[in-house]
Amino acid sequence: MRVVNSLVERCFAVVELLANEASAMRLGEIAEKLDLQKSAAHRMLNVLCEMGWVEQEPVTGFYKLTLRLAILGQRFLSATHLTDVCQPVLEELAAESAELVRMAVVQGETLTWIAQVQGARNGLKYQPEMVAKVRLASTANGRAYLSTLNPTDAIRIAINGSDVGGKQSIVPVEEFMEELKLARSRGWAISNEEAELGVVAIAAPIKLGDGRTVGTVSVAGPSSRLTALRHDEIASAVLSTADKLGELWPLRERVS
């Protein structure tokens, strides 16, 4: 059983790495990032290629995901009706704020982007690439989510993400704890050009009636438009939207 579990874990690790990178990678790079011997990584990739999850580019020999994972993800979202139910609410916030609105869902101890609506009608438009995972410590969505957790768990998760406290830290632990405390007290979090230069985002957690956090919703845009004078206005709209999403959340009864 140990060997089987190890094989499964390694295969999923390869899939997750390729999904996060969203580009073709060479065998040596995959082995290095997953701390595997090249021979072991090669076996994993061969298995995944045979199963149709990964493909090898004929010219470069690099490996990349097939569309199978994306197709299954779309099938799952369609089955839960998550985006169908939430989309009109997100569109309403996008129209009101005239900025980019995004929603993420909690998966384990992290967040995954699943929807976005562009509300900017003219001028600069903030349109980031929809990568899978949300960076927790530096983004408004991540901070909004972490603010709902036990402080010890929040710091542990942030440190494991290398954004806080470690050698690659971008935020001192004490400062980060104060930021989470403030977000917890007012119900929303902000990232003021900390995740991306020139971009401000304000986010709130989406909670069910029993207090559990299932996701986050945010408004983000150029700092030239989302000035300090608009922060309270945007925060109020984001909080209202988070409440609506919590009431409409299509997975609520299943989770309960």
User: pLDDT band at residue 165, thresholds of 50, 70 and 90?
Assistant: very low
CB 189 within 8 A of CB 134: no
- C-alpha closest to that of 154 among 134, 133, 135, 176: 176
Tokens coding 56:
């090898």
Distance CA 75, CA 90 (A): 21
In this model, does residue 127 exceed pLDDT 90? Answer: no
- 176/99: higher pLDDT: 99
Residues 6 or more apart in contact with residue 48 via CB below 8 angstroms? 11, 14, 15, 54
Distance CA 222, CA 125 (A): 7
Tokens coding 63:
């490996």
Rounded alpha-carbon distances, angstroms, from residue 167 to 159, 173, 193, 195, 253:
10, 12, 21, 18, 43
- pTM for the model: 0.69
Predicted local confidence at residue 1, as pLDDT: 35
Torsion of CA 8, 132, 27, 4, to 10 degrees: 0
- 5/108: higher pLDDT: 108
CB 142 within 8 A of CB 120: no
Q: What is the pLDDT of residues 48-86, one digit of tens each?
A: 998 888 999 988 999 998 878 766 766 666 666 666 778
